[in-house]
Structure 1
Amino acid sequence: MEESIVQPDVLSKRSKFTYSVGHVLNDVTAAMWLSYFIVFYYRVMNFINAPAGYFFLIGQIVDAVSTIFVSLASDRTQTGLFHYGKRKTWHLIGVVCVLISFPFCFNLCIGCQNSKFWIQFIYYAIFITIFQFGWASSQVAHLAMINELTHKDGERVALNSYRYAWTFLSSTSLYATASFFFRG
C-alpha cells in the first residue's frame, strides 16, 4: 500500500509569500532578456542584425528543449540533492545557472573583446545556453511545486495569482529602474 503524506488544507501566509517571490529572479531576467537583448547585442556589442537574432534564436531553442527535458527529468527524479526535494532541487539548479550565466550574457566578452567574431559568438552562445537551461529549470520546477504544495484548487489559484503579482512588480521595477538610468 502506498504511503500518503497528509498536508494541511490551507497554506500559511509565510508559505504563500515564499512561494510567490521564489520566481522573481526569473521574472527580472526574462523581462531584461525579452526587452533589451537585441538592443544590447546590436547597439552596445555592435553585432549586425543577423548574429543578434541568432543569439536570440539559440536561446529560444535551448529554452524549448530544456523545458521538455527538465519537465520529464524532474518528474522522474526520486529524491532531491541532500533530501532537499525534487522540485526544489531543480529550482535551485536553475537559479544557480541563471545567477552564474546571466551577467556574462550582458557584458563584454571577457578575454575575447578583440577576438574574431566566431570566438565571441561561441562565448556568448555558451552563456546563453546555460542561462536558458537555468531559466527553464527554475520555471518548470517552480510551477510544478504548486501541485505538491496543496491539493485545493482555490489554494493553487491563489498561489498562481501571488506569483504573477510578483512577476508584474518585478517587471515594472525593472522598467522603472531602466527608465531612471537611461533617461536622456
Structure 2
Amino acid sequence: MHIILNENVMVSSDLGAESNNFGKRSRLENIYFGLGHVYNDLCASVWFSYTLFYLQIVMEIPSTTAGLLIMTGQVTDAIATPVAGWTIDRVGTRRAWHATGTLFVTIGFSLIFAVNNNGNNYLSVLVYTSLIILFQIGWALVQISHLSMIPSLARDNNQSNTLTTLRYTASVICGIIVYMTTWAVLKDDANLNNVGPADFYRFRKIMFIITGIGLSAVMLFYVGLRNKWNKLRTYKQLQENEENKDKLPRNFLKSSIIYKVSLLYMASRLYTTLNLIYIPLYLDERQSDELSSIDGIRSTVATVPFVVYVVSFITAIILNFRKQSDTIVYVFGSLFSMSASIWIGIIGRNTSKIEIYTIATLIGIGGSTTLVTSLCLTAKYVKSNGFGGGSVYGIVTFTDKLASGLAVFAIQHLQNSLDENFPNFYSSVLAYVCGITALLGLLSITTLYCCPVSEEGL
C-alpha cells in the first residue's frame, strides 16, 4: 500500500491552531472524551477474555475452529484499521464514522452471544464469521475515529499523555466492570462449579448488560462534546486551505520510526491480549488439580482477570504523574511483564491461590505500563510531525491485530494437534509466548531509543 502524504496528512500549524480551540477544555470535557471508547473497551474485554473460552467451553466448538474464528476477527480488524484511518482523514466527520462503527458493533457483538448457534457445522461457522466480521469493522471505525482526536485536542505532549492515560484508564475501568458482571452472573448458581453449555443464557445476560452500559456511555460522549465536533476538521478540509498546500510533510511510510513505533505497540498489545485470552483457559486447565469448590473455575475465571484490571487501573493513575521518560518507564514495565511469565514457567499450573493473584498483579503492572507508554510515543510522533492521526494510528494498530490473530490461530492449532494428555499447554503459552512477546517489546524500545531524535521528531 502506497500512501502519499500530500493527500492524507494534517499540517502541524493547523493542528496547533485546531488544538487552541480546546485549550480551555474543562476536566468534565476530558471525561466526556474518555467515554467515547468505553463501548469498544467493554466489548474488547469480553472479546479477548471470554470469546475463545465461550466458543470452546460453552458452545463446544473444537479448538482449531474456535481459533480460526478469533483469527478471522483479528485479521478483519487489521485490514479494516488502516482503511478506516485513511477514510476518516478524508471523508466525512469523526462523529459520523464513530456512530457508524457503534451501530456495527452493537449488531455484531450482541448477536455473537445472543444466538444459540451451537454445533460444529458449516452454517454455524458461517453465522459466527459474518457477525465477527461486522463487529470488527465497527470496532476499527470507533477506535481510529477516537484515537485520531487526541493529536487535535492536545496542545502539547503533556496533554497528549493526559488524554492517552485517561483513555486507557477508562479502558481499565471497563475491564473491571466486565469481570465484576461476569463474576456476579456466573456465581448466581452455586450448585455448578464448572462452566459449560448450560451457561449460554448467563453469557447472553452478560452481553445485554455490557451493551446497555456501552450505549449509555456513547450517548454521553456525543452530548458532552456536542460543541466541539465541528472544530475537528478532516484532512479534506485542511487540503482546501490554499496556504497549506506547500507545507505538507513527506510520506510518513518512508520514516523508519513508524515501523519502530508499530513494533513497539504490537509487542505491548500482544502481551496484554494473549494474557486476557488465555488466563481463563489456563484457569480451566488448572481446575483439574486439587482445588476446593471455593477456589473453582466459576470464581477465578472472573476474579483473576479482575485483579489484573484493578492493578492496571492503579498503575495508569500513577503513570499520569510520572517524571521519567517514556523509554525508561517502558523498560520497567517490560521487566514486570517478563517476571510474570518466568514465574508461570517455573511453577506451571501448580500455583497456589496467593501465587496466581501475585502473578496477575505483575501482569497488570507490566501490561498497563507498556501499553500506555507505547500509545504516548505514538501520539508524540503524530503531534511532532503533523501527520494525519487516523492514517498513522491505522498503520500502528494494524500490526498488533494481525499478529494477535495469527498467534491465537497458531496456538489453538498446536493445542489441537498435541496429545490430549499434555497437562501444561496453556501455562506454557502464558510463560513462553507471552514472555517472548515482552522481550520483543524490550528490544523494540532499545531500537527506538537509538533513533535520531532530531530527525524523527520524538
TM-score, with normalisation over the residues of structure 1? 0.86
Gaps of 5+ in 2: 1-12, 191-458
User: Partner of 1:62 in structure 2?
Assistant: 76
**Aligned: 1:147 with 2:161:** no
Q: Percent identity among equivalent residues?
A: 28
* Shift of residue 157, structure 1, vs aligned partner: 1.5
Cα distance between partner residues in 1 of 2:31 and 2:59: 39
- SS state at 2:78 partner: helix
Alignment of 1:121-136 (within 5 A): 121-136=125-140
Alignment of 1:152-163 (within 5 A): 152-163=156-167
User: Partner of 1:107 in structure 2?
Assistant: 114
Q: For the structure 1 residues 39 and 147, does the alpha-carbon distance in structure 2 shift closer, same or farther, using more than 3 Å as the test? A: same
**Aligned: 1:90 with 2:104:** no
Runs of 4+ more than 6 Å apart: none
Q: For the structure 1 residues 127 and 12, does the alpha-carbon distance in structure 2 shift closer, same or farther, using more than 3 Å as the test? A: same
Aligned amino acid, residue 61 of structure 2: F
**Aligned: 1:118 with 2:127:** no
Candidates 32, 35, 54, aligned match of 1:18: 32
**Could you tell me whether the CA contact under 8 Å between 2:59 and 2:118 is conserved in 1?**
no
- SS state at 1:76 partner: coil
* Shift of residue 76, structure 1, vs aligned partner: 1.7
Aligned amino acid, residue 104 of structure 1: L
User: Partner of 1:31 in structure 2?
Assistant: 45
Measured on the aligned residues, the alpha-carbon RMSD in Å equals 2.1
Cα distance between partner residues in 2 of 1:8 and 1:165: 21
Cα distance between partner residues in 2 of 1:148 and 1:129: 30
* Shift of residue 62, structure 1, vs aligned partner: 0.2
Aligned amino acid, residue 157 of structure 2: D
Structure with the larger RCO, 1 or 2 (CA within 8 Å, 6+ apart): 1
* Shift of residue 113, structure 1, vs aligned partner: 5.9
Aligned amino acid, residue 159 of structure 1: L
Candidates 2, 18, 23, aligned match of 1:9: 23
Alignment of 1:75-86 (within 5 A): 75-77=89-91, 80=92, 86=93
Cα distance between partner residues in 1 of 2:67 and 2:114: 17
- SS state at 1:25 partner: helix
**Aligned: 1:46 with 2:50:** no
Deviations 1:112-170 (A, max 9, x none): 768x8111111111110000011111111100011222333222211111111111111
Deviations 1:27-86 (A, max 9, x none): 110010001111111122221111111110100100100111101111122xx3xxxxx2
**Could you tell me whether the CA contact under 8 Å between 1:7 and 1:150 is conserved in 2?**
no
**Could you tell me whether the CA contact under 8 Å between 1:97 and 1:131 is conserved in 2?**
yes
Q: For the structure 1 residues 158 and 10, does the alpha-carbon distance in structure 2 shift closer, same or farther, using more than 3 Å as the test? A: farther
**Could you tell me whether the CA contact under 8 Å between 1:9 and 1:152 is conserved in 2?**
no
- SS state at 1:151 partner: coil
Cα distance between partner residues in 1 of 2:160 and 2:114: 38
- SS state at 1:106 partner: helix
**Could you tell me whether the CA contact under 8 Å between 1:101 and 1:130 is conserved in 2?**
yes
Aligned amino acid, residue 108 of structure 2: S
User: Partner of 1:83 in structure 2?
Assistant: none
Cα distance between partner residues in 2 of 1:16 and 1:8: 10
- SS state at 1:178 partner: helix
Cα distance between partner residues in 2 of 1:169 and 1:145: 21
Aligned amino acid, residue 111 of structure 2: F
Candidates 182, 185, 189, aligned match of 1:181: 185
Task: Report which of the two structures shows the higher radius of gyration computed on alpha carbons.
Answer: 2
Cα distance between partner residues in 2 of 1:152 and 1:89: 27
Work out the number of aligned pairs and report it: 173
